[in-house]
Structure 1
Amino acid sequence: MIALAPVDFGGPANGPLLLVGPSLGTSAATLWSGVAERLTQRVRVVGWDLPGHGAGAPSEPFTVADLAAAVLALADGLGVERFHYAGDSVGGCVGLQLLLDAPQRVASATVLCTGAVIGTPDGWRERAATVRTGGTETMLAGAAQRWFAPGLTDRRPGVSAALFDALRHADAESYARTCEALAGFDVTGRLADIVAPVLAVAGADDAATPPESLQRIASGVKDGRIVVLDGVGHLAPAEAPDRVARLIGEHVGVSAEPITTAEVYAAGMTVRREVLGDAHVDRAVAATTDLTEDFQHMITEYAWGTIWTRPGLDRRSRSLVTLTALVARGHHEELAMHLRAARRNGLTNDEIKELLMQTAIYCGVPDANTAFRIAADVLSDYDGGAPS
């Protein structure tokens, strides 16, 4: 029997247990850390690594059913009879298998960027043969296109780099065996037997398992619903950890929203780093003095922890609103900072150009003229050059 390597993200010992499963070529730590960080105030989160991935040791050939049995053994080892489950891609396939093989053990399941069947058997066998011949390096060239929505590597370079590194260091034979397990997986005809609540989460930009794949799951099970995340590809937990954590929290029956002042501040610091970048935030923190410390804390707590974490607008939209307000008020230093943030949030130079054209009408030509000058300087370092 396969022995899975657990990754304990922490959480209350007496809280509900959420087991989280990875995608092919990733590790639990690189894929799920952001989501776990947002849930462990109320939920104990434990991930598992595929054989030969992350902390997982290589194993003999296995099936998706074997992985599901190993997840049950992991729960047994934790002393938990009934647990919640979330999994991405092959991790989602394992979730469906668990719901079929041990429905009494799974309180709820969130399956992300997956399918009752994924790809074709021949396609998976061809990939297995490619990796056996050339190693997992052969998968790196197309990984960004397979995994991420456009622009993710620019917006979150640290996250994408960690995932690429996990793929690079995955054991080639174990990767190939996972491909073969997926080649043999198809529970399309058994979805109606699944009775536990299932949340199917799709990435709007996921080419490998498009929203239609998740819709078939949500429609096929007894109690399913689907949520499609805009601006997300195949690795939703890493691409949109705040939205995924909120959805899983709601499905599990706990809140993923921070409730204490310390939690609001921590959530704000996380978003601030994601939007502005670690280098910028590190400089700001290093420059904090006794005079500015309270002000910096307030900004992190209220602007980033209270407003930027709200679910009503995505970050692209918040960047558009923020840039417009900064042009209108003439806050040029902040404008430069938020132009960079806008690129991290997925806006293109052409979209920023259109926004600045709009401000020329509604904020005034002199304000827009200054904004274009600042943008020409700031955006020259990005693909596509400055707005023209």
Structure 2
Amino acid sequence: MIVELSARSKEVFRQIVDAYVATGEPVGSRTIARRLEEQVSPATIRNVMADLEEAGLLYAPHTSAGRLPTEAGLRLYVDGLLEVGNLTEEERHAIESQCAVRGRSIEAVLGDASDALSALSRYAGIVTAPTNDRPFRHIEFVPLSPGRALVIVVGDNGLVENRVIDVPLGMPVSTLIEAGNYLTARLSGRSFAEARARIVEEIEQHRTQLDALTEKVIKAGLATWSGDGDGRGSGFLIVRGHAKLLDDVTNLADLERIRTLFEMLEARQSILRLVELTQSAKGVQIFIGSENQLFGMSGCSMIVAPYRAGTEGGRGASVVGAIGVIGPTRMNYARIIPLVDYTARVVSRLLGAPDTETRR
């Protein structure tokens, strides 16, 4: 569609979207006349805007108002007219220092990355990841307090995951050690999915010499790696700063749409779909409004990029999740796209993947 627009139409349309992103208000012909470098009368601009509206790129929210870009118009702008900016050194440093501050726990790295994106974009930062299906190297149970233990799992790439589980009161440390040794022997070199069925079958058919307490610990450890005990194994979602989406709410209808979005996020709907959308992607993906079912009713867009994890020794890398920003459709795409891109690269590097520059 972009090739069908004249140079003047492209520039008028670009200025309309830029003004809309800055203010969130309908844009009139006089505003555009002041923004254009060449001398163009408001009447001429109104004619151009009428043509853009007929092409489905603009719409009038009410009679005698200025114009706003449609979702199709925003897609045209993002794909063909947007000039993506560059990050400042301060922004790069903020992302790197925030993500690295808590060490190598996967949940900590991803949580920090989501926090960093939310703070810098002033919208909601989102991270998705599937249930870990990489081969394990080692698993260990560490007592924390009466009735609580820490499960430490080391993957084949050296990354560490920590989760807290409930255990029977008064359980001796020797039982935790036995449970860790049992799982390590059966999980080592295998993914969780590969090993879980075998372990459950052994326990249920009493083909292994385990006392009742040790068996309880092992089952608790298995449950926490099956989707936090719900058996779904569908992965997890981290959303930080989602209340910032309320900053642009101007009426009750907008508030209801955002509330619906919050409910969907809390229910973890479309998590796997978001991850799947990035599996074959080489760089940043942009979903505007109804292009994604998750945001179709909320008036939001999502800018998301895949992040990768390397194998032991850095011999390769594969996509393991997605990271990005959720914001209003009028978000500053030129600024947020490089933020998401760079954060995904930093996370990938921390998870052992080679640092390669991504492209849209």
Shorter-chain-normalised TM-score: which range? under 0.3
TM-score computed with the length of structure 2 as normaliser: 0.25
Give the number of the structure whose residues are more often strand, by fraction: 2
Larger Rg: 2
Report the TM-score, using the length of structure 1 for normalisation: 0.24
Q: Please identify which structure carries the higher helix content.
A: 1
Q: Relative CO higher for 1 or 2, CA cutoff 8 Å, sep ≥ 6?
A: 2
